[in-house]
Amino acid sequence: MEASTKCEMQLLVNGETKSVVARHADTLLFVLRNELGLTGAKPGCLNGDCGACTVLVDGIPIKSCMMLAIETVGKAITTSEGLHNTAIQRAFVEHFAFQCGYCTPGFIMNAFALIERHPDADDRIIQEWLESNICRCTSYKEIEAAVKTVLANHPSIPNDDHF
Amino acid sequence: MIPFEITYHRPRSIAEAVRLFDTLQQQGKKPLYYGGGTEIITLSRLHLVAADAVIDIKHIPECRALESNPHELVLGAALPLAALEEAEPFPLLTKAASEVADRTARNQITLGGNICGQFFYRETVLPFLLSDSQAVIAGKDGVRQCSIHDVFQRHIRLKPGQFLVQMKVDRSYASLPHFHRKRRKQGKVGYPLVTAAAIKKDGQIRVALSGMCPFPFRSTEVEERLNARHLSLHDRIAGAIRALPRPILNDIEGSAAYRLFVLEQMLFDIIEELGGEETNGGLH
């Protein structure tokens, strides 16, 4: 019997199990935006270069344009909609770490994971992680300042308002 | 976005993966083994790769191995490069892996994907070429282990239905003096102009290169000339440059002449850092 190229999949997104029917060939980015209406992850280069589509899969930043949705079955996906008033979100506002804002959700997801995994990150680690994202408005200094503010206050700033 | 239909398969064992490949092929399908998927997705979007099915090897325990015993390191082909960097079992490999793409991408790009990929830089193969590593290959005929030099000549040479399961490295190589440098056209992100990896083993320098030619390589001829200590340092390096395989890449990242210029300086740096400079001519 011919295997179907489309199926129903259960995805755990921002703490909720969502049932979607999608092509095996659909990327996670496509399914999040077009099937689940979660438009926080942004389509940019669609080539794994810009980082605008970054989400967390089991807490690890992933470029969702480069991962099939079906690969994430059984894993926990967190998008920017799953973060609520976290320290890094507040720091981005306080430091005006954006202009047009298109890259912001991707930067925030990556920065959130960086802070969670490396609360003692030094300049080298911060640069290494943030090089994964591109900001055409060149808000890099402000973004770096936002990340460093949260790291300096970690863990006194509660950072658990997320899935 | 993959602009054509595929079926996705998630085998839990080597045998299941090989069987799936065979079954799909017998059905007239074109299956591909799938690691991190970044290259397959990228090239599919550009219609440079076509497949009817992908077989995800990330859930096969052997492909996720990250083990160290008194004699060897065992590194699964489906390990993300970022996981290898964090575990740091082989410092030269850590350096090579940490220069590929960017940090987020390396959460997905796998060791096997980088070695077996179509993008010709394949920089993580350099440490394995230098350390005469073993490759574990699975296929219809079972699982076998062979020298990296037998299975990787300019690119991985696998038969249809075979896939790379693991790389095994003699642990003694992990502590040898080493050198790794990646020079790009600009900045810290991008494809290499030249990537050079080197180790010093039993007083001899070994060198492997990526970005010079449309394939990564380690050349006995280059190493012989580089280690010819009866010659002056300049003659050794000039000899090594002459012994390079051809063609030298000449593309938007840099002209062939510029690549050779950059490599020449790198070879001086390798000898200076690894201490192979005892020659008649000395280090000029």
Q: For B114-132, write each residue's pLDDT tens digit.
A: 999 998 899 999 999 999 9
Query: Contacts of residue B189 in chain A, CB cutoff 8 Å?
Result: 131
Of the given ranges (B6-15, B27-36, B98-107, B183-192), which has the lowest mean pLDDT?
Answer: B183-192
Query: Contacts of residue A27 in chain B, CB cutoff 8 Å?
Result: 1-2, 41
pLDDT at B283: 45
Mean pLDDT of chain B: 94
Chain A nearest CA to B221, separation (Å) = 36
Q: For B182-226, write each residue's pLDDT tens digit.
A: 999 887 777 789 999 999 999 999 999 999 999 999 999 999 999
Q: Which helix (H) or strand (E) holds B7?
A: strand B7-9
pTM of the predicted structure, to 2 decimals:
0.94
Mean pLDDT of chain A: 94
What pLDDT band is residue B92 in, cutting at 50, 70 and 90? Answer: very high
Pick the closest to residue A69 from A35, A94, A95, A93 (CA basis).
A35
User: Would you state the torsion angle of the CA atoms of residues B229, B234, B238, B239, taken in this order, to the nearest 10 degrees?
Assistant: -10
User: Has residue A156 got a pLDDT over 80?
Assistant: no
What percentage of chain B has pLDDT greater than the value 70? 97
| CB contact (8 A) between residue B5 and residue A24 | yes
Quick check: A72 contacting B, CB < 8 Å? no
pLDDT at B260: 97
Mean pLDDT score, B239-259: 96
Pick the closest to residue B130 from B192, B198, B75 (CA basis).
B198
- Nearby residues of A78 by Cβ (< 8 Å), 6 or more positions away: A13, A14, A55, A56, A59, A109, A162, A163
Instruction: Give me the residues paired with residue B155 across strands.
Output: B153
| CB contact (8 A) between residue B6 and residue A4 | no
pLDDT at A154: 74
User: Has residue B149 got a pLDDT over 70?
Assistant: yes
Could you give the 3-state DSSP secondary structure of residue A40? coil
Q: Quick check: B64 and B78 in contact, CB under 8 A?
A: yes
Compute the distance between CA of residue B253 and CA of residue B244 in angstroms, rounded to an integer. Answer: 19
Chain A nearest CA to B109, separation (Å) = 10
pLDDT at B234: 95
What pLDDT band is residue B270 in, cutting at 50, 70 and 90? Answer: very high
Indicate which of B23, B102, B182 best probes the interface with A, i.e. most A CBs within 10 Å of its own CB.
Answer: B102
ipTM > 0.85 for the complex = yes
| CB contact (8 A) between residue A54 and residue B104 | yes
| CB contact (8 A) between residue B7 and residue A71 | no
- Nearby residues of B45 by Cβ (< 8 Å), 6 or more positions away: A46, A47, B1, B2, B3
Compute the distance between CA of residue B97 and CA of residue A136 in angstroms, rounded to an integer. Answer: 27
pLDDT at B211: 94
Indicate which of A132, A133, A134, A138 best probes the interface with B, i.e. most B CBs within 10 Å of its own CB.
Answer: A132
Expressed in percent and rounded to 5, the helix, strand and coil fractions of chain B are 35, 25, 35
pLDDT at A163: 59
Pick the closest to residue A12 from A62, A65, A56, A64 (CA basis).
A56
Helix/strand/coil (H/E/C) assignment for every residue in B27-42? CCCCEEEECCCHHHHH
What percentage of chain B has pLDDT greater than the value 90? 91
Within 10 angstroms of residue A144's Cβ, the number of other Cβ atoms is 17
pLDDT at B203: 95
What pLDDT band is residue B1 in, cutting at 50, 70 and 90? Answer: confident
Q: For B253-263, write each residue's pLDDT tens digit.
A: 899 999 999 99
Query: Contacts of residue B3 in chain A, CB cutoff 8 Å?
Result: 25
Q: For A130-145, write each residue's pLDDT tens digit.
A: 999 999 998 999 999 9
Tokens for A89? 């979100």
Q: For A47-80, write each residue's pLDDT tens digit.
A: 999 999 999 999 999 999 999 999 999 999 999 9
For residue A57, report the phi and psi dihedrals to the nearest 5 degrees. Answer: -120, 115
Pick the closest to residue A62 from B36, B108, B110, B64 (CA basis).
B108
What single DSSP character describes residue B195? E
What pLDDT band is residue B274 in, cutting at 50, 70 and 90? Answer: very high
User: Has residue B65 got a pLDDT over 90?
Assistant: yes
Mean pLDDT score, B37-59: 96
Within 10 angstroms of residue B160's Cβ, the number of other Cβ atoms is 10
